[in-house]
Amino acid sequence: MALEEKREKRPPVTPMMIEEEAALRNGSRGLPPGPWAEAAGPRPRTTERHIAVHKRLVLGFAVSILALLAVTMIAVLLSVRFEECGAAADGPPRAGGNGSLPGAARQPPGRPEEEEEEARGGEAAAEEEKEEEEEWQRRRELPPWARPRLPRHLRPLHYNLMLSAFMENFTFSGEVNVQLEVHNASRYIVLHAHRMHIEAVRVAEDKLAGGVRVARSFLYPQTQVFVVVLNRSLEAQRSYNLKIIYNALIENELLGFFRSSYVLHGERRFLGVTQFSPTHARKAFPCFDEPIYKATFKISIRHQATYLSLSNMPVETSVFEEDGWVTDHFSQTPLMSTYYLAWAVCNFTYRETVTKSGVVVRLYARPDAIRRGSGDYALNITRRLIEFYEDYFKVPYSLPKLDLLAVPKHPYAAMENWGLSVFVEQRILLDPSISSISYLLDVTMVIVHELCHQWFGDLVTPVWWEDVWLKEGFAHYFEFVGTDYLYPGWNMEKQRFLTDVLHEVMLLDGLASSHPVSQEVQQATDIDRVFDWIAYKKGAALIRMLANFMGHSVFQMGLQDYLTIHKYGNAARNDLWNTLSKALKRVGKSVNIREVMDQWTLQMGYPVITILGNETTDNVIVISQERFVYDSDAKPKDPALGDSSYLWQIPLTIAVGNTSHISSEAIIWVSNKSEHHRIPALEEASWLLGNINQTGYFRVNYDIRNWRLLINQLTRNHEVISVSNRAGLIDDAFNLARAGYLPQNIPLEIIRYLSEEKDFLPWHAASRALYPLDKLLDRTESYNIFNEYILRQVASMYLKLGWPTNNLNKSLVQASYQHEELRREVIMLACSFGNKHCHQQAATLISDWISSNRNRIPLNVRDIVYCTGVSLMDEDVWEFIWMKFHSTTAVSEKKILLEALTCSDDRNLLNRLLNLSLNSEVVLDQDAIDVIIHVARNPHGRDLAWKFFREKWKILNARYGEALFMNSKLISGVTEFLNTEEELRELKNFIRSYEEGAAASFSRAVETVEANVRWQRLYKEELFQWLRKSLTH
Cα–Cα dist 154/171, whole Å: 30
Cα–Cα dist 951/974, whole Å: 13
How far CA 425 is from CA of 191, 378, 436, 454, in Å, comes to 34, 11, 16, 20
Q: Which of 129, 416, 450, 493 is catalytic?
A: 450
Cα–Cα dist 926/409, whole Å: 7
Cα–Cα dist 227/168, whole Å: 32
Nearest partner of 856 among 895, 804, 799, judged by Cα: 804
Nearest partner of 760 among 733, 803, 726, 790, judged by Cα: 726
Q: Report phi then psi at 425, rounded to 5.
A: -55, -40
Burial class (CB in 10 A: 0-12, 13-18, 19+), 876: exposed
How far CA 584 is from CA of 42, 48, 391, 590, in Å, comes to 81, 95, 21, 6
Q: Give the residues across from 608 on adjacent strands.
A: 626, 699
Cα–Cα dist 577/558, whole Å: 9
Per the CB < 8 A criterion, the answer to whether 594 and 577 are in contact is yes
Q: Residue 210: CB partners within 8 Å, gap ≥ 6?
A: 204
Cα–Cα dist 173/249, whole Å: 9
Return the ∠ at Cα 77 (arms to 76 and 82), rounded to 5°.
Answer: 95
Nearest partner of 514 among 594, 606, 645, 626, judged by Cα: 606
Q: Residue 903: CB partners within 8 Å, gap ≥ 6?
A: 866, 867, 868, 870, 871, 934, 938
Cα–Cα dist 967/254, whole Å: 13
Per the CB < 8 A criterion, the answer to whether 562 and 393 are in contact is no
Cα–Cα dist 274/165, whole Å: 12
Q: Residue 41: CB partners within 8 Å, gap ≥ 6?
A: none
Cα–Cα dist 976/504, whole Å: 14
Per the CB < 8 A criterion, the answer to whether 740 and 778 are in contact is no
**Residue 175: its H or E element:** strand 171-182
Tell me: cis bond preceding 804? Omega within 30 of 0 counts: no
Per the CB < 8 A criterion, the answer to whether 824 and 832 are in contact is no
Cα–Cα dist 291/570, whole Å: 8
Residue 60 CA, chain-centre distance (Å), reads 72
Dihedral sign, CA of 901, 902, 903, 908?
A: positive
Nearest partner of 650 among 613, 609, 678, 688, judged by Cα: 609
Name the strands in the sheet holding 607-613, side by side, starting at the edge strand that comes first in the sequence: 674-678, 620-627, 607-613, 699-702
Amino acid identity of residue 1033, one-letter, is: H
Q: Residue 802: CB partners within 8 Å, gap ≥ 6?
A: 823
Q: Residue 534: CB partners within 8 Å, gap ≥ 6?
A: 469, 505, 508, 509, 514, 515, 516, 517
Indicate the DSSP class of residue 341: -
757 in active site:
no
How far CA 127 is from CA of 94, 96, 97, 133, in Å, comes to 16, 10, 14, 10
Cα–Cα dist 371/252, whole Å: 28
Cα–Cα dist 810/718, whole Å: 32
Which positions are annotated as active-site residues? 450
